[in-house]
Amino acid sequence: MAMLKSSLAFLVLASAFFLCFIMSIGDGSYDYFQFVQQWPPTNCRVHIKQPCSNPRPLQYFTIHGLWPSNYSNPTIPSNCTGPQFKKILSPQLRSSLMRSWPDVESGNDTRFWAGEWNKHGTCSEQTLNQMQYFDRSHQMWSSFNITKILKNASIVPHPTQTWKYSDIVSPIKKVTQTTPLLRCKRDPAKPKSQFLHEVVLCYEYHALQLIDCNRTAGCWNNVDIKFQ
């Protein structure tokens, strides 16, 4: 009897461990997506150790990544154990991505795509396989032209003008009907001064519908924002 009890206990424990194991491997568990676009001149301005490969950075918002995200934990998931990046074979998709998702720092687009897929894409592989992940990201980029939305609101790169957080958010919100998030980079040359770096749009679990972003903004409160 005692023997039966202990082997039963063992079985229960073993199953519990097995379940935990299954749940922790590779598993893309996430709540929603953050679609992050960046302003290349800001990348190059703060990327001071090694200058950007192209001395004249692109003057339009480009993709940084599509990140499966967790509401309660800002750092995970990442580096899940899904299949690693495979070369993008479709010439159409490649040429689209070279426009929408270039590596503005080192100029090696494939390495950038591989890094983003391996770190983030693997965590939502059950929803979007690699082809769908890149294809969907390009569609997202095409469906809301942030550069154009801002230009339409007279928010264009300017050497001295500054904007408030809400000045930049409201024209985007008006077009997308949801709340985006902005991320800034501090000016390496001037403390307490910040540049617009990224615009984040949030999508629900299936990456089909926009939703409000509700993470804390990545800009200092009450510090004007430069866009250059």
Ligand X SMILES: *[C@@H]1O[C@H](CO)[C@@H](O)[C@H](O)[C@H]1NC(C)=O
Binding of ligand X by 71 (CB under 6 A): yes
Query: By CB under 6 A, how many residues form the interface with ligand X?
Result: 23
Q: In the window 29-68, what residues touch ligand X (CB under 6 A)?
A: 29-31, 60
Listed in sequence order, the residues at least 6 apart from 120 whose beta carbon sits closer than 8 Å to its beta carbon are 65, 66, 67, 68, 78
Binding of ligand X by 90 (CB under 6 A): no
Q: Which of 86, 111, 164, 206 binds ligand X (CB under 6 A)?
A: 111
> Is residue 158 among the annotated active site residues?
no
Q: Are 64 and 159 in contact (CB under 8 A)?
A: no
Binding of ligand X by 70 (CB under 6 A): yes
Per DSSP, 217 falls in state: P
Binding of ligand X by 147 (CB under 6 A): yes
Q: For residues 125 and 23, what is the distance between their CA atoms, to the nearest angstrom? A: 15
Pick the closest to residue 173 from 187, 191, 153, 193 (CA basis): 153
Q: Which of 24, 53, 90, 108 binds ligand X (CB under 6 A)?
A: 108
Q: Which of 53, 79, 90, 170 binds ligand X (CB under 6 A)?
A: 79
Catalytic residue among 47, 116, 158, 204: 116
Q: What is the DSSP string of 13-62?
A: HHHHHHHHHHHHSS----SEEEEEEE-HHHHHHH--SS--SSSS--SS-E
Q: For residues 207 and 211, what is the distance between their CA atoms, to the nearest angstrom? A: 10
Shortest CB 42 distance to ligand X, Å = 17
Q: Nearer Cβ to ligand X, position 118 or 193? A: 118
Phi/psi region, residue 226 (left: phi>0; alpha: psi -120 to 50; beta: rest), is beta
Q: For residues 145 and 59, what is the distance between their CA atoms, to the nearest angstrom? A: 13
Binding of ligand X by 145 (CB under 6 A): yes
Q: Which of 78, 84, 143, 209 binds ligand X (CB under 6 A)?
A: 78
Q: In the window 165-184, what residues touch ligand X (CB under 6 A)?
A: 174-175
Binding of ligand X by 72 (CB under 6 A): yes
Q: Are 218 and 182 in contact (CB under 8 A)?
A: yes
Q: Nearer Cβ to ligand X, position 19 or 31? A: 31
Q: Are 179 and 169 in contact (CB under 8 A)?
A: yes
Q: Where does this chain bind ligand X (CB under 6 A)? A: 29-31, 60, 70-73, 78-79, 108, 110-111, 119, 145, 147-149, 151-152, 174-175, 214
Residues noted as catalytic: 64, 116, 120
